Structure 1
Amino acid sequence: MIGNIPWLTAIIIVPLLTALFIPLIPDKEGRTVRWYALTASLLNLGLIAYAFWNSYNFKNTKLQLTESYPWVPQIGLNWSVGIDGLSMPLIVLSSLITTLAVLASWQVKHKPKLFYFLILVLYSAQIGVFAAQDLLLFFIFWEVELVPVYLLIAIWGGAKRRYAATKFILYTALASIFILVSGLTLAFYGDTVTFNLTQLGMKDYSLTIEVLAYVGFLIAYGVKLPLFPLHTWLPDAHSEASAPISMILAGVLLKMGGYGLIRMNLEMLPHAHIKFAPLLVILGVINIVYGAFSAFGQTNLKRRLAYSSISHMGFVLIGIASFTALGMNGAVLQMISHGLIAAALFFLCGSTYERTHTLMMDEMGGLAKQMPKIFALFTAASLASLALPGMSGFVGELTIFLGVTTSDVYSSAFKVVVVFLTGVGLILTPIYLLSMLRVVFYGQENLNLGLEKYSLDAKPREIFITASLLIPIIGIGLYPKLITTTYDYKTIEVASKVRSALPVIAQQETSRQAGLNSGLLISPGLIAPKF
């Protein structure tokens, strides 16, 4: 709280409150309501910029802008919110992408009031997830976020929108049960019952409880990330969702999975994380390679980008499991970088679809001559996605590579295998992205598309949206400290907490079975960790 003003509560509530007035706006065609929604989004973005700029201390790893009020004391539910280096940059990312998604929705004519109402409700829920410091409050925001996404896909999606929306809600809603069960297990463990995340992280759990809770959280956040083999809802959701919803889905919602893993699996359950870290690295490698191979085989433009997202999120898992502050730093950077890049790609995909009325790449061709501006923007975003030096994707992936290869916990043999297999995914990434550009923008023009040449190329609004994403992508690529300084101290603290648990686990392992360490996954550094 700054002074007597609850800024963080205001940032969460403003989009919801403004959404409640949308039904009162006398506008059937959506011309007024879209400006209203954009104004509300910009207002909240301004509140975030003002509050964070004037009060957030980058070097302070503790919670800031904290507020705590009893909400439903009968069940122990408190309105407890706060931010730190982990949540602050993700809140800014969420606000930026959601605001741009509202601007990208300018062509929505079917039920525009309901559309913008749901977007603003989703806006509040996103900020709430990253700011909540009470487990029950976190779960409420997590669940509230699902409903608008389901409706936004089911009503404004493509031909198979109901199937995709149903699959999305089934996967994510069922996975949410694991958050509740695991959270309640931790809350009721021991002599005191608490839902405060900070207090939960200070409890001394038995290893069995930690492992059980860790598995539950991993399943829940693995679905959101998404983690192989819990990923199958994502390509369907992306292929049927409209471009603005895909921007939010790829740019923000997937990051909730990575955020949950760091916030709960690492901060609250460090001993269990040591047990599961090698598995996370393996699953991350599978995500990278599987996603890249699958993307290469897609002829649907949005499905190719969807599998590309699955591949890139695999790096987040590797960084989280690296046991180094550098790798942890790279994981957060990769989440931010991918959020910006994926939002740009899916928006440009939607712009291309509006002109061609198809997502099948083999039905396109020769579009570079007719849409040179869109071609240039699409190329820039694709180069960022394939980790071209000078763009944020390169910095994020390189940091994760350095983090895991310099880790003293994993053996040399394990690291060599990880780097080799991850390299396969890195080689495939430029192949499927550049071949996508070649098929869509080069070659012979498909005259059957019936393109209207006078209105083909990017409009000023579309250029502005893409530039608003490309500028931070390039800025972070050239000077990473623009963003890393906001969370450096926090990632160092989380990595230190995990590493401090290494001797405890090592002692338990040696006591249980001498020589249990295989030498493949865990090096002797686990038995005598080097700090």
Structure 2
Amino acid sequence: MEQVLLLLIFLPLVGALVTAFSGNAAKHVALVSAIASLGLALAMVCNFTPDASMQFVVNFPWIKDLGISFHAGVDGISLITILLTNVLIPLIILTAYQHQYSKPNAFFALILFMQSGLLVVFTAMDAFLFYIGWEAALIPIYFICAVWGGKDRIKVNMKFFVYTIAGSLFMLLGIIYLYLQNPSNNFDIQAFYNLSLDSTQQTWIFWAFFVAFAIKMPVFPFHTWQPDTYTEAPAAGTMLLSGIMLKMGIYGVIRWLLPIVPGGVQDWGQFAIILSIIGVVYASIIAFTQKDAKRLIAYSSIGHVGLISAGVFVLNVQGMQGAMIQMLGHGINVIGLFFVIDIIANRTQTRKIADLGGIAKQAPKLAIVFLIIILGAVGLPGMNGFIGEFLLLLGVYQYSLWAAVFAGLTIILSAVYLLRMYQNVMLGKTNELTVKFTDIKGSEQVVLYIICALVIGLGVYPKPILHLSEASVQHLIEQVTQKLTSVN
């Protein structure tokens, strides 16, 4: 079955190559490729045994003299992120159907190229391969934002690029150091897990990796690139960044940081939790002041990701399971939110909340799906955001009552500012901008109906997703706990 994983990783690359030479048919070719990848991912889920083992393993020498292998595999943790990527990419491509991009073949090819890089990140079992995937996913999103972004895209994109490259260099230094400490002279993840590092070494490696992952998520105070980049990026670029790319940071913490330097996490994890919770409160307060709907959702994303980050660092099963399902739930919700704002902006030529109103009268279908997505984002029971936030708060509560109190503010505050935005945008009286507003149709309906189905479906019956990752999460926590016990 290892061929399935190879095909999953390289199919988007083939699709990107074909799309690049498809001219005006590029979006259709890209969509077919993305749907084919989704089919492969679903086949992988159907053939996956939900235990802690690594499955669909691919392992062959790549750069033999340096001990670098093309080593990839899938367990319950990576399977969730594979599902996230392959479910969202077709939806993101569909959201771009309503736009007339210059050079559409390049635009859609870059999306598929990024998909391949993301899948490498989420399956790599070799640190050098992980780093290659990490950088490969960054390159296309940089060009997507730089070429098709807003008027301030160059300045904003440069800030984004500097942040992410700086973080990547810290991680690369950490990987090289671990390689030099490895008597096997390879980059294999299990060999890194087995290293015996002293407290000072673990501290340095912790910060080398944490900075890279914290920038990508982003966690306070490494977040300052995010609101501007999300605002200036084209809609599809914002969805790629918020829906999938930020999950690279969370996944990196889970897969690489925790098992390699558990002592560093024990020493500095509380500081990481504090930063995450500060981000929850800070971003939620800033979201209240936003007049641009897209920027409001950008800050909302920082708040929700801060809760996920805190749930990972508390090192218990509840927090980790909450992080796994919330990564999927957050990705679905945030794409839905950004897409609705993009639809409104296309029809009214504004994203200013104060300039809108009364849209529900003109577009009842849009009003209903927008409300469903918001209820999912605020964690209403029965919606997809509820189970993840419940488990995250339960995990944080087991760590600290006060941490749970402040982390829980993201639920209360997000409900207030998102519902207030809905009220101002969708309800009230129409004006000259909204009086001729037309309801959703075509690809818009397809995307939003699928998103609403996922919001409700995952909320009503989250068990299959939790079951996929449960054994792998328990194994990870046991692995980290045993290493800490043996050191202490």
Deviation at 1:504, TM superposition (A): 4.6
Show the counterpart of 1:373: 365
- Aligned length, in residue pairs: 487
Show the counterpart of 2:380: 388
Q: Deviations over 1:166-209 (max 9, x none)?
A: 22111111110011011111111143322011221122222221
Q: Give the Cα–Cα distance (whole angstroms) in 2 for the partners of residues 177 and 484 of structure 1.
A: 34
Show the counterpart of 1:232: 224
Show the counterpart of 2:348: 356
Is the contact between residue 93 and residue 252 of structure 1 (CA under 8 Å) also seen in structure 2? Answer: yes
Name the CA shift for 1:479/1:24 in 2 (closer, same or farther; >3 Å). Answer: closer
Deviation at 1:446, TM superposition (A): 2.6
Give 5+ residue unaligned stretches, structure 1. 408-414, 508-531
Structure 2 residue corresponding to 1:33, chosen from 26, 29, 32: 26
What is the one-letter code of the residue matched to 1:433?
Answer: L
Larger deviation, residues 289-298 vs 370-379: 370-379
| Structure 2 residue 76 is matched with structure 1 residue 85 | yes
Show the counterpart of 1:243: 235
Q: Give the Cα–Cα distance (whole angstroms) in 2 for the partners of residues 109 and 457 of structure 1.
A: 22
Show the counterpart of 1:47: 40
Q: Give the Cα–Cα distance (whole angstroms) in 2 for the partners of residues 387 and 437 of structure 1.
A: 16
| Structure 2 residue 469 is matched with structure 1 residue 487 | yes
Q: Deviations over 1:451-471 (max 9, x none)?
A: 644xx1111321211222222
Is the contact between residue 151 and residue 165 of structure 1 (CA under 8 Å) also seen in structure 2? Answer: no
Show the counterpart of 1:521: none
Q: Give the Cα–Cα distance (whole angstroms) in 1 for the partners of residues 302 and 270 of structure 2.
A: 19
Is the contact between residue 387 and residue 397 of structure 1 (CA under 8 Å) also seen in structure 2? Answer: yes
Q: Give the Cα–Cα distance (whole angstroms) in 2 for the partners of residues 350 and 365 of structure 1.
A: 16
Structure 1 residue corresponding to 2:245, chosen from 232, 243, 253: 253
Name the CA shift for 1:266/1:23 in 2 (closer, same or farther; >3 Å). Answer: closer
Show the counterpart of 1:317: 309
Structure 1 residue corresponding to 2:7, chosen from 2, 10, 13: 10
Greater share of helix residues, 1 or 2? Answer: 2
Name the CA shift for 1:395/1:148 in 2 (closer, same or farther; >3 Å). Answer: same
Q: Deviations over 1:242-277 (max 9, x none)?
A: 222222211100111100001111122112111122
Show the counterpart of 2:104: 112
Is the contact between residue 221 and residue 275 of structure 2 (CA under 8 Å) also seen in structure 1? Answer: no
What is the one-letter code of the residue matched to 2:420?
Answer: S
Deviation at 1:23, TM superposition (A): 3.9
Larger deviation, residues 219-228 vs 39-48: 39-48
Q: Deviations over 1:510-531 (max 9, x none)?
A: xxxxxxxxxxxxxxxxxxxxxx
Show the counterpart of 1:510: none
Name the CA shift for 1:194/1:470 in 2 (closer, same or farther; >3 Å). Answer: same
| Equivalence map 1:143-292=2 (5 Å) | 143-292=135-284
Q: Deviations over 1:60-114 (max 9, x none)?
A: x121101112222233321111111111110111011111111111123311111
| Structure 2 residue 58 is matched with structure 1 residue 71 | no
Name the CA shift for 1:22/1:333 in 2 (closer, same or farther; >3 Å). Answer: closer
Show the counterpart of 2:429: 444
Name the CA shift for 1:403/1:109 in 2 (closer, same or farther; >3 Å). Answer: closer
Give 5+ residue unaligned stretches, structure 2. none
Q: Give the Cα–Cα distance (whole angstroms) in 2 for the partners of residues 85 and 395 of structure 1.
A: 18
| Equivalence map 1:424-463=2 (5 Å) | 424-447=409-432, 449=433, 452-453=436-437, 456-463=438-445
Residue 193 of structure 1 aligns to a residue whose secondary structure is coil
| Structure 2 residue 474 is matched with structure 1 residue 474 | no
Structure 2 residue corresponding to 1:423, chosen from 408, 413, 420: 408
TM-score, normalised relative to structure 2: 0.96
Q: Give the Cα–Cα distance (whole angstroms) in 1 for the partners of residues 202 and 434 of structure 2.
A: 60
Q: Give the Cα–Cα distance (whole angstroms) in 2 for the partners of residues 451 and 43 of structure 1.
A: 41
Name the CA shift for 1:278/1:462 in 2 (closer, same or farther; >3 Å). Answer: same
Structure 2 residue corresponding to 1:127, chosen from 119, 144, 164: 119
Q: Give the Cα–Cα distance (whole angstroms) in 2 for the partners of residues 417 and 23 of structure 1.
A: 52
Name the CA shift for 1:68/1:162 in 2 (closer, same or farther; >3 Å). Answer: same
Tell which structure's C-alpha radius of gyration is larger.
1
Q: Give the Cα–Cα distance (whole angstroms) in 2 for the partners of residues 74 and 213 of structure 1.
A: 25
Is the contact between residue 281 and residue 318 of structure 1 (CA under 8 Å) also seen in structure 2? Answer: yes
Larger deviation, residues 373-382 vs 471-480: 471-480
What is the percent sequence identity of the aligned residues?
A: 33
Structure 2 residue corresponding to 1:62, chosen from 53, 62, 82: 53
Is the contact between residue 270 and residue 497 of structure 1 (CA under 8 Å) also seen in structure 2? Answer: no
| Structure 2 residue 94 is matched with structure 1 residue 103 | yes
Q: Give the Cα–Cα distance (whole angstroms) in 2 for the partners of residues 423 and 37 of structure 1.
A: 40
Name the CA shift for 1:265/1:96 in 2 (closer, same or farther; >3 Å). Answer: same
Q: Give the Cα–Cα distance (whole angstroms) in 1 for the partners of residues 16 and 406 of structure 2.
A: 47
Q: Deviations over 1:12-51 (max 9, x none)?
A: 11111122123433x3xx2x22111111111111122223
Deviation at 1:420, TM superposition (A): 2.5
Root-mean-square deviation (CA), in Å?
1.6
Is the contact between residue 325 and residue 466 of structure 2 (CA under 8 Å) also seen in structure 1? Answer: yes
Q: Give the Cα–Cα distance (whole angstroms) in 2 for the partners of residues 494 and 438 of structure 1.
A: 43
| Structure 2 residue 327 is matched with structure 1 residue 330 | no
Q: Give the Cα–Cα distance (whole angstroms) in 2 for the partners of residues 24 and 437 of structure 1.
A: 41
